[in-house]
Amino acid sequence: MPHVEVNNHTLFYKKEESSGDQKDILLLIHGLALDSSCWGPFPEILKESFTVIQYDVRAHGESSTGEEPITWDLLREDLHGLIHHLKLTRVHILAFGYGTNFAVKFALKYPNYVQSLTLMSLPYMEPNNTHYHLTQRVFPSIKETMEAGNPNFLHPYERLLKGYTTLSSNDKGLITYFRVLLGNSDELFSEMVKLASNSTLLLELAQLSCPVLLLSGALNVTSPDALLNASSFLLKNSTRITIPDASFLPFLEQPELVAKWVRLFASRNSGASSSIMETQRYIQAVFQPEEDKAMERIPVLHVQLLHGFHVAIDSVPVTSDWNHLHAKQILSYLIFHPITTREILCKELFPDVEYDKAMVSLQECLNHLEKMLRHPMNSTKGLLFQKETVSVQYKIKCDVTDLMTVVRQAVVERDQLIRYELCKQLPSTLPETVLADIDSNWANTLRNEIEAQLTYLNEWIKDMGWDTRSVSLSK
């Protein structure tokens, strides 16, 4: 495979020509402590539409370390050296995880090279958040199991990895990902964590002028919605897309769907034609995905909140008394916060009760809800509560979260055509008040947000003079 000398070190790269008619170039940037082998089948799918270039970041994979301490600016200049060596003039860039940091720096310093920028799974790490917990507590244990020679080293941690990935512990792509991630030396891993903590990404997003696509998994709990919303509003020319049935690793979990969005976005920012029908087809593919084997592996918890309250597990209705022992209130909260703590639930349910007594009452409520959420066919547990945390183990499908996803994306979308197509995915009828029968602070905040955004979109459609016959935001 090709190597090139860049900034006093050897850089490994791989260039694969497009198998289709389009000649646009897409350059992939992997995350820290990973390498180009972690992309799995994703590059092969992209080859249908792009000439794809992958490379190993300095000190990763087959690239050498060099003599200088690794910094974001140095990684940016490595990227510039590679592009200069390949004599490229304009490229689409797709960066994952912490690779987004120097991809943004590159786009700021060398804007003439960048046709579009796709930022996948923006990283977010602070003490005691989910990403920090995984990195500092879970990953070291997985590494010990892997180094002990256990071929199924991910299996004992499958439940702990929910929210980080929807893939099963025996998925080949996921195994390769973790073998690379945890196969690095402790020194390199520590250096990368230190580098990750020294990020100015949010400050730099507002300075970008190129078109930016933000891709995130709908089930990703490592990056909060607040980060993605802030990123969307900071960017001047951005599109935010949430990938269903995916978490932190959408390029492994939903590679075909991610490739479709990257292709659509790139075509709209490269001079290539993209019809209204094509745009609509891709949007429908996201919000009306076909059933596949990946979806069948994990049971699905269906919850209807917009028009009454109905719960089903893999289409089998759960008809127990939801008003008993706060079952409805707890489940409703968990729909929007799939991983939470006992302390938070106590404050939600028993704000005026002494803490120790509240914890005893909460345990009784959780025991009751855990029985209600056992799978009707095989008794699989759908609710996991440990010493401090409470989490839902099923994939969650809820009409309100579906509504929120489309509404939020439509509000921040700047491309008028895509915004209109997103509005057409909204339900034709909505209740007078969303979440009307849930009385709590979190529900009130969420309700006000949704209703304000719906009002904004409704006024926008009227102002634009769009065809209101195919879009209804009435309540």
Residue with tokens 């909260």: 333
CA–centroid distance for 58 within its chain? 26
Q: With contact defined as beta carbons under 8 Å apart, do 270 and 114 qualify?
A: no
What is the spatial distance between Cα 155 and Cα 188, in angstroms, rounded to a whole number?
26
Q: Which domains does the chain have, with CATH numbers?
A: 3-287 (3.40.50.1820), 298-397 (1.10.10), 400-470 (no CATH)
Residues 6+ apart with CB under 8 A from 35: 56, 57, 60, 61, 62, 180
Give mean pLDDT in consecutive 10-residue pieces for the chain, a chain of 475 residues: 86 89 88 94 94 96 89 95 94 95 95 95 69 78 92 89 88 96 87 80 85 87 66 75 88 94 83 53 53 55 92 91 92 86 89 93 95 89 84 86 82 78 79 84 87 88 72 53
This prediction's pTM = 0.64
- Looking at residue 248, what is its pLDDT? 92
Rg (C-alpha) for the chain, rounded Å, is: 23
Amino acid found at 17? E
CA–centroid distance for 160 within its chain? 17
- Looking at residue 284, what is its pLDDT? 56
Q: Which tokens belong to 45?
A: 């799918």
Backbone angles phi, psi at 128, to 5 degrees: 80, 5
Per-residue H/E/C for 183-202 = HCCHHHHHHHHHHHCCCCHH
- Looking at residue 468, what is its pLDDT? 57
Q: With contact defined as beta carbons under 8 Å apart, do 407 and 471 qualify?
A: no
What is the spatial distance between Cα 173 and Cα 179, in angstroms, rounded to a whole number?
10
- Looking at residue 114, what is its pLDDT? 96
* Burial zone of 97 (CB within 10 Å; 0-12 exposed, 13-18 middle, 19+ buried): buried
- Looking at residue 224, what is its pLDDT? 62
- Looking at residue 199, what is its pLDDT? 76
- Looking at residue 96, what is its pLDDT? 97
Concatenate the DSSP letters of all residues of 318-370 into one string.
Answer: --S-TTGGGHHHHHHHHHH-SEEEHHHHHHHH-TTS-HHHHHHHHHHHHHHHH
Distances from the Cα of 406 to the Cα of 111, 418, 426, 457, angstroms: 30, 11, 7, 11
| Cα four-point dihedral sign 109, 72, 413, 89 | positive
Residues 6+ apart with CB under 8 A from 420: 461, 464, 466, 471
Residue with tokens 């199991």: 145
